[in-house]
Structure 1
């Protein structure tokens, strides 16, 4: 196909870079024998930290800094990039301070700069005051320099229909191949060096620049991969570590996506059942199957009559509709608004709730956000199938049992089919937990983004770990949503290292948060535009927000 020609050329040109990517993942001194506990270059080449006020009116104590780190840790005196950091300093007496706690919300590529003020505020003051809370933007993302942009308009509406039955596969293949080509055209010098291992070495550069012998760490979603990778590389430099909503340590990213599809189907089934129980509110029927038929009815209508996305540009077609809904598998506080969208459209042909929900949940930002980092991590760390015929057959089998999310997720990841830096066939860094102190793990049994199997697998990989399980679904990243059983366990560990006393694979079980109350989210009166609170995108601290957006 003509549209593949440019990518194929880049693939040929990138062979040496792909090999270099493997060397970067090793990142050890010559003769060091590859990765091992505390493998480290004699000189990481990182810069120093000069903290100054972030000028944040809500958190005046918040300080900001930029840190130089090498693009390639095997060449520490080579080209540098900058990592943006902030910190909320400890205020306890020096003898009670417990050092820095580095924070990552996942992504891969999501900003962590919101986390110090927010998470410190979720913890009792006598504990929060003993830590330096450190947020950062991972390399190549957000406020770090450079901020990688491959195609600023990749997510613009209206996008091709996700469903292959609609004849859009060629359009999506061309779009995904073009994205991989655009990334390589400008960023070939950085993309092979944006793996989880590279990011983990950045964590250690931050530790060095802070002048600390050890760090504490909290990570959610992909942040659990980042944290466990850091712990494997530098176990003696970990003081305490918390992993929330866990990616299994051995599964490939391609197979992980298939697990996600099945779990997101379960969460959509749960939403349909919840909506059916609230027929007096939403009037979509008392049978979950009727709710699903109403969802399909709206999507089918949008194929021929897309909705104005204002204030976002473009139209809301079936792809934008699906993007608006999949986040319900991450955060069930979205369910009332989601049910309202379907109810308003089906019972009144009112499209305003859909436009509002799209703007809050799915409308793109000014560029492609963390998507370059997402691809740079996932496409590079494993070998992906390169044959569309394989994808088509394999994904059809998944779609047969999980039609809600499969093709949405497939096209989101399709650039990996063409990525010019082919992944390591050995997979990601093997996690053994050797030398790590006790680690605290949190996992929900019904997490759509990081399925339950991942939490169990990480517990098996980390002999020192204690696993806390939420029995049921609610949020992706289950801490800091008001569940005292979970949050108090986190606090006790941060306070003095106390861990759940239970033995065996699961040390403690917590009940899920109660399901949201069904309410009809009334839109503004006809003829009036939505207010800022209705249409504005969510901040990471909004109750309806999705934080660790691993897909």
Structure 2
């Protein structure tokens, strides 16, 4: 899972197109609903997918008090077109985050599988509570991610500034959203999914979730096993690990992916001229970062400057999507060999530049900080993270400061908690995992497979995409399609039911900036074909 402002939407890792949704207006079809509130569908006015329909669903803020304060969830659907006797019901979709929008997913994912299967499902996207087009949209500090931010590296003397910044963010959230934040956990979102199910008027749903979406899906399955027909979890968060320890696993895996990038770049010295061994390339990366400390680059059209923090943010995404490597290597090569900062500016605006506010960062914190007892003592963090940084310096302090608000979060603890996942009463769940995934490391999939009796684990050995479906890998995608078609599961008898090969590394190419490249505004994370998402 990963950061919401910079990496919002799995459209990325899976390439994407805009959902183009607008708020629902006059209903153009009959309301639906059995045992719950009704959905009044209307056109989303989406020019790419004209059949897409939108609605707002009213749900309780606190499910313990269902008649109390209400909030609204934005939902959309691409209706099934197969004959009624062939239809298989709704499939709810979530890309992770926590908090990322799922409104782009019905049109995109349904277009990635054969029409005879896609047409049998109602494809359902939604914005998690408090985010995006759901109401209210929680914002704590609209300018939290504006550049130039303090240096992530503790050796640069910025720890006090970051601690103050994180504490203020937590305080701002509490000051404005004290009634809302305690009710943004994974359990709350899973209950919203069941409200969607009831509003759709069905007894069972299907589900696809990636990254944090695997926590959401497994939590839904634990709460409502009798309402699950089929479930697919892609790039899996372990069912028992706490979020602080999960971040440490990420730090180590991101270091491995950065080392892999450096080795790939070194093999392409004739293209990038950054050295012929990985260590030389990594030193060049640090050289650029050091230069940006004294001479940051103009971030326009994004606000502010690109300093070392923004530079790191631009690069860590290569751990989610190795198709970024040519652009990343070009950034270093252009800066060091041509004194050209345009590729850095373009990459920052394309991948990392902040949106109009703090995006889904409040939801990210509300889930992760509230669901575990985080360490509250900065001295502990400082000592513990220094140990991690000794072997994984690429990402450790970046990740630490991104999560630092959890030191101060006012709703922290086990009172909401993450459910114990047992899989009791669930049908067979199909699991997908790459062995080199940096955002949701491989041990999480192993643990989830053990926790869900009857589940089938499909492993991409050597793969590194975060969310591995829909990249054109037939071994993976055909397995997904067969399961959606008729429930067919891979037949391997071992712990791993099926193994698939990874995609080849990208071809080294110098990504020459176009004349108009720097004139475009900051890309919308959910519509950028190169964007990536994930659980941080």
Question: TM-score range with shorter-chain normalisation?
Answer: over 0.9
**Residue of structure 2 equivalent to 1:323:** 313
Once the two structures are superposed, what CA deviation does each residue of 1:152-189 show, in whole Å capped at 9, x if it has no partner? 00001000000000000000000000000000001011
Are 1:340 and 2:330 matched, yes or no?
A: yes
Residues 45 and 77 of structure 1 are in contact (CA less than 8 Å); yes or no, is this contact kept in structure 2?
no
Q: Gapped runs of 5+ residues in structure 2? A: 1-33
* CA distance in structure 2 between the partners assigned to 1:160 and 1:536 by the alignment: 21
Change (3 A) 1:106 1:422: same
> By how many angstroms is 1:524 displaced?
3.6
> By how many angstroms is 1:518 displaced?
0.5
> By how many angstroms is 1:452 displaced?
0.2
Residues 35 and 199 of structure 2 are in contact (CA less than 8 Å); yes or no, is this contact kept in structure 1?
no
Which of 375, 379, 386 is equivalent to 2:369? 379
After superposition, residues 188-337 of structure 1 pair within 5 angstroms as 188-337=178-327
After superposition, residues 88-487 of structure 1 pair within 5 angstroms as 88-424=78-414, 427-487=417-477
Are 1:546 and 2:532 matched, yes or no?
A: yes
Normalising by structure 2, report the TM-score. 0.92
> By how many angstroms is 1:529 displaced?
6.0
**Residue of structure 2 equivalent to 1:41:** none
> By how many angstroms is 1:413 displaced?
0.2
> By how many angstroms is 1:429 displaced?
0.6
* CA distance in structure 1 between the partners assigned to 2:36 and 2:281 by the alignment: 55
**Residue of structure 1 equivalent to 2:518:** 530
Residues 346 and 517 of structure 2 are in contact (CA less than 8 Å); yes or no, is this contact kept in structure 1?
no
Once the two structures are superposed, what CA deviation does each residue of 1:179-207 show, in whole Å capped at 9, x if it has no partner? 00000001011100000000000000000
Q: Gapped runs of 5+ residues in structure 1? A: 1-43
> By how many angstroms is 1:300 displaced?
0.3
Residues 243 and 440 of structure 1 are in contact (CA less than 8 Å); yes or no, is this contact kept in structure 2?
yes
* CA distance in structure 1 between the partners assigned to 2:35 and 2:487 by the alignment: 33
Once the two structures are superposed, what CA deviation does each residue of 1:486-522 show, in whole Å capped at 9, x if it has no partner? 0000000000000000113210000111111110001
**Secondary structure at 1:95's aligned position in 2?**
helix
Task: List 4+ stretches of structure 1 deviating above 6 A.
Answer: none
**Residue of structure 2 equivalent to 1:78:** 68
Residues 37 and 198 of structure 2 are in contact (CA less than 8 Å); yes or no, is this contact kept in structure 1?
no
**Residue of structure 2 equivalent to 1:25:** none
* CA distance in structure 2 between the partners assigned to 1:231 and 1:199 by the alignment: 12
Once the two structures are superposed, what CA deviation does each residue of 1:83-137 show, in whole Å capped at 9, x if it has no partner? 0000000000000000000000000000000000000000100000000000000
Residues 90 and 133 of structure 1 are in contact (CA less than 8 Å); yes or no, is this contact kept in structure 2?
yes
* CA distance in structure 2 between the partners assigned to 1:131 and 1:254 by the alignment: 38
> By how many angstroms is 1:537 displaced?
1.5
Once the two structures are superposed, what CA deviation does each residue of 1:358-392 show, in whole Å capped at 9, x if it has no partner? 00011000000000000000000000000000000
Residues 333 and 543 of structure 1 are in contact (CA less than 8 Å); yes or no, is this contact kept in structure 2?
no
Residues 143 and 358 of structure 2 are in contact (CA less than 8 Å); yes or no, is this contact kept in structure 1?
yes
> By how many angstroms is 1:296 displaced?
0.2
Are 1:493 and 2:491 matched, yes or no?
A: no
Which of 508, 513, 516 is equivalent to 1:518? 508
**Secondary structure at 1:146's aligned position in 2?**
coil
Residues 254 and 394 of structure 2 are in contact (CA less than 8 Å); yes or no, is this contact kept in structure 1?
yes
* CA distance in structure 2 between the partners assigned to 1:539 and 1:122 by the alignment: 20
Residues 255 and 392 of structure 2 are in contact (CA less than 8 Å); yes or no, is this contact kept in structure 1?
yes
> By how many angstroms is 1:539 displaced?
5.1
Normalising by structure 1, report the TM-score. 0.90
* CA distance in structure 2 between the partners assigned to 1:442 and 1:408 by the alignment: 28
Aligned length: 504
RMSD: 1.5
Q: RCO greater where, 1 or 2, for CA within 8 Å and sep 6 or more?
A: 2
